[in-house]
Structure 1
Amino acid sequence: MGLSYVSQAFMELQGRMIETTGKLKQVQNQIRGKEADKKRAFLTLEELRQLPEDTNTYKSIGMRFVLEPKSILVNEQEQKLKDSETAITSLQTSKEYLEKQLAEIENNLRELFEQDPGLAHQIMSMSVM
């Protein structure tokens, strides 16, 4: 097994690992954002449900507030809650897929090192140069 093949295989796996790790972090951030949206919608719904039906409620639109019936605001918050839950489910599926890909890449790297025990030393000496 020559240095060029081993180096090429290692560099390819390393690139895939960096890319997959980046995607995984992005998905994790999106999940956190959707969890925050879900919590906001839930808390807003809890407050709205405590109000009498004839209470004047206002919706924030940019820098303005517009008078809206309570029922419309409740419907909007319920939809935000459902949308957040759907997005979180989809993102969790993506996260699991990326985690499996990352585990596969790590396994491939481990196999590469097992095939050529001197590989780690060669890679370390290449990275120092």
Structure 2
Amino acid sequence: MSIPNEALQKLMADIESKAAFSSQQLQIVKAQMAAKQRDIRLLQLTAEELNTLPPGTRTFEGVGKMFVLEPITSIKARLENEEKTLKNDIKDLEKKYNYLETTFVNAQQNLDAILRGR
């Protein structure tokens, strides 16, 4: 049983658009993951710098256009919480990346199958 040319062309166009969309989304997710990795590294470097300070050191945290006196322990706790949040975000992005990658591969395989069957 043969598929009419119009239906075949429409099917191919749909598959190509899915593949293109998945490819674009893959690039976006890669960029988001890289940005989150950079943020984690910045937090780690900041925590390392805080660890070198003596315990009684007065530390300030920027809030808008002003600086507020904060104890080192609260700043370290905030940095740890932010790092955990970023790591969870990266895990979610990895899941999304795997899904998009699977979608892209499936679309490519479908296109190949249609072209070979033609």
Q: TM-score, normalised by structure 2?
A: 0.92
* Match of residue 55 from structure 1: 57
Which residue identity lines up with residue 114 of structure 2 in the other structure? L
Q: Which letter does structure 1 place at the counterpart of 2:30?
A: Q
Report the CA distance between 1:115 and its aligned residue: 0.8
**Which runs of no fewer than 5 residues in structure 1 stay unpaired?**
117-129
Once superposed, what is the RMSD of the aligned Cα atoms? 1.1
Q: Which amino acid aligns with 1:20?
A: S
Paired residues, number = 116
Query: What residue identity is the alignment partner of 2:116?
Result: E
User: Is structure 2 residue 100 aligned with structure 1 residue 98?
Assistant: yes
The CA deviation string for residues 10-60 of structure 1, in whole angstroms up to 9 with x for no partner, is 110011112212221221121111111101111010001111111011111
AA partner of residue 57 (structure 1): T
Which deviates the most, 102-111 or 30-39?
A: 30-39
Q: Indicate the residue corresponding to 2:15 in structure 1.
A: 13
Distance 1:6 1:16 in 2: 15
Runs of 4+ in 1 over 2 A off after TM superposition: none
- Whose relative contact order is higher, 1 or 2, with alpha carbons under 8 Å and at least 6 apart? 2
SS of residue matched to 2:85: helix
Normalising to structure 1: TM-score of the pair? Answer: 0.85
Q: Which AA in structure 1 matches 2:96?
A: S
- The aligned residue for residue 37 of structure 2 is 35
**C-alpha offsets along residues 84-105 of structure 1, whole Å, 9 cap, x if unaligned?**
1111111111111111111000
Higher deviation after alignment, 15-24 or 40-49: 15-24
How many Å separate the matches in 2 of 1:61 and 1:12?
A: 49
Return 5+ residue gaps in structure 2 as ranges. Answer: none
